Each structure stands twice: as C-alpha cells, then as structure tokens.
C-alpha cells in the first residue's frame, strides 16, 4: 500500500483514526496524507464575498497553525506525513487525492452511538463512505493495541457483491491479513438449510470463478450474526460492502451496514459495490 488518507477535524474521533492509520502506515511503509477541510464557503472565498480578504487570510492561517499543532504527535515521528488543506468541504475530492497519491485506504473516525443519537447517518464519515472509490476504514472511539491480522467480510453473496468480495480479498492480501468470509443465515430471510445456503454461495462464486471457503453462521439478525461471528474468530476488522447510495438503501441489505458501523466495537471497513 503506497499511501493512506486520513480526513481530520481535530476531534477525538479523528485523532483515534489518525493513530490507527499511523500504525498501518508504519507497518507497511506507507505515506500518510492527512486531509483537513477548513469549511470556508465558496461564496466567502470569491471576490464578491461578504467577508474581508484580511479575515479570510486570518481564518486560513489559524486553521493551518492548528493543523500543524494537531500533527505534532509522537506516534507520527516515524511516519511520512503530508498535510493537505482544502478551503471547503467537497467530499468527492477524497477520490481525487486518492488517485493522485495512489492511496489504497481512507481511515476516518465516527461518533456512532446507540439509539436515536446515532449520527453516523448524515455524518462526514458517511459522506466519505458514499463517495470514496477506495476502502474506508471506520474507527469508533479509541482503539487500544490495534492490530490487523484477521478480517471478517460479511456478504449476502448476490451477484452484485462479487466486486466487493474481490476488493476485500485484495485488501486483506495487501495488508497481510487472514480473510474470513461469512454468510449470515437468519429467520427473517427465511432461514436456509446449510445445503441450500452453500448452494446459493457456490452459484455466486462459480460465476466469479472463485474457489473460496465461506462459513455459514446462524443467528437471529444479520447484525448480531456479524458481531458474534467476528468475536468467535477473534477478528480485528469487519468488512462490509456498500452501494454508495443515498438514503437507507445505500448500504447492503437496507440499513444493516450503517448499524454495523455504528455499533461495532472493532473497526469496520467498507468496500463499494
């Protein structure tokens, strides 16, 4: 992996993501591009804007100074860090930066909590997930003793998921991780016998000409099944596919992806279908 992008807003969540990204970059000798968006409106930046040029310069200088201080961390000293400042939020620019620097991963922090206070939906992290063409690793809270040795990738093994499966395989190989593929079998989906579930999985893998081992895990819901299976195999990361759509259908199987990203105790990485 040549480089990693980490969008930051100086919050505790973005620093937690920065720490994880630094560990990955250090282990794989990757460059770290730390992106900060100053959130200045294009109108303000124009000559006809209602804010004086002196004030705009002050805002930019203040943001740049805060950015420099934010990056003055002991865990970054052995990592090649390149700060990138954008004057306003355009989340599609993440793809431009990723393409320019051959980035293989975006790492972001998320506030994700329980119940009605969940803010992954509509958050900056979710917008990046929707727009990013490269995998996005979502880190919720401080991750102590982070390691990336084993990744679980959950899929419904429909034809449209093949590209995400291939991307997950390449990602795991790139980071030297063991990949555990799993199909979650639930009563809500008219639970299948193991024989029928394996037939469904095999049909998809045969179309992709992939000879892969897939585990079937039975549980009361897909979300619980993913978490319980990940815990049973001692996974460090959970992988899920995403359509990059708007609304509740933008993750695979309705809102399951966002539920997993909100509630997971370990980092979650998304792969666009």
> So what's the pLDDT on residue 171?
95
Cβ proximity of 32 and 82 under 8 Å: yes
pLDDT at 272: 84
**Helix 124-131, helix 256-263: angle, nearest 10:** 130
User: What pTM value is reported for the model?
Assistant: 0.84
Per-residue pLDDT of the chain (273 residues; tens, 9 = 90+): 899 999 988 888 889 999 999 999 999 999 999 998 876 555 444 555 556 667 667 667 777 888 889 999 999 999 999 999 876 666 677 888 999 999 999 999 887 554 434 434 446 777 787 778 899 999 987 888 899 999 999 998 988 889 999 999 999 999 999 999 999 998 876 678 888 889 989 999 998 889 899 999 999 988 999 999 999 999 999 999 887 654 334 444 445 766 787 788 899 998 888
Output the pLDDT for position 118.
43
Q: Assess contact for 247 and 116: CB atoms under 8 A.
A: no
Q: How far apart are CA 217 and CA 232, in angstroms?
A: 10
List CB contacts of 1: < 8 A, sequence separation 6 or more.
Answer: 24, 28, 30, 104, 105, 174, 175
What pLDDT is recorded for position 80?
Answer: 96
pLDDT of residue 34: 94
pLDDT at 184: 92
Give the Cα separation of 241 and 134 in Å (integer): 12
- Taken in order of first residue, the domains within the chain and their CATH numbers are 1-145 (3.40.50.620), 147-273 (3.40.50.620)
DSSP string for residues in 4-47: EEEEE-SSHHHHHHHHHHHHHHHHHT-EEEEEEE----HHHHST
């Amino acid at each position: 992996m040549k480089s990693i992008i980490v969008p930051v807003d100086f919050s505790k969540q973005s620093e937690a993501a920065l720490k994880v990204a630094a560990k990955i970059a250090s282990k794989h000798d990757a460059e770290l591009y730390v992106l900060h968006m100053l959130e200045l409106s294009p109108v303000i930046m124009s000559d006809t804007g209602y804010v004086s040029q002196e004030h705009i310069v002050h805002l930019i200088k203040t943001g740049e100074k805060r950015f420099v201080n934010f990056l003055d961390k002991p865990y970054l000293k052995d990592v090649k860090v390149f700060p990138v400042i954008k004057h306003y939020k355009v989340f599609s620019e993440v793809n431009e930066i990723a393409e320019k620097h051959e980035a293989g991963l975006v790492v972001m922090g998320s506030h994700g909590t329980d119940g009605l206070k969940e803010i992954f939906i509509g958050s900056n992290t979710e917008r990046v997930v929707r727009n990013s063409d490269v995998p996005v690793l979502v880190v919720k809270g401080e991750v102590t003793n982070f390691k990336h040795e084993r990744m679980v990738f959950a899929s419904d093994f429909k034809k449209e998921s093949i590209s995400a499966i291939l991307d997950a395989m390449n990602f795991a190989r790139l980071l030297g991780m063991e990949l555990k593929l799993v199909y979650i079998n639930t009563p809500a989906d008219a639970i299948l016998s193991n024989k029928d579930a394996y037939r469904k999985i095999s049909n998809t893998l045969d179309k992709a000409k992939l000879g892969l081992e897939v585990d079937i895990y039975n549980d009361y819901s897909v979300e619980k099944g993913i978490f319980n299976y990940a815990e049973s195999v001692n996974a460090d990361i959970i992988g899920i596919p995403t359509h990059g759509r708007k609304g509740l259908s933008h993750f695979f199987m309705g809102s399951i992806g966002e539920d997993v990203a909100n509630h997971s105790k370990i980092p979650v990485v998304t792969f666009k279908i």
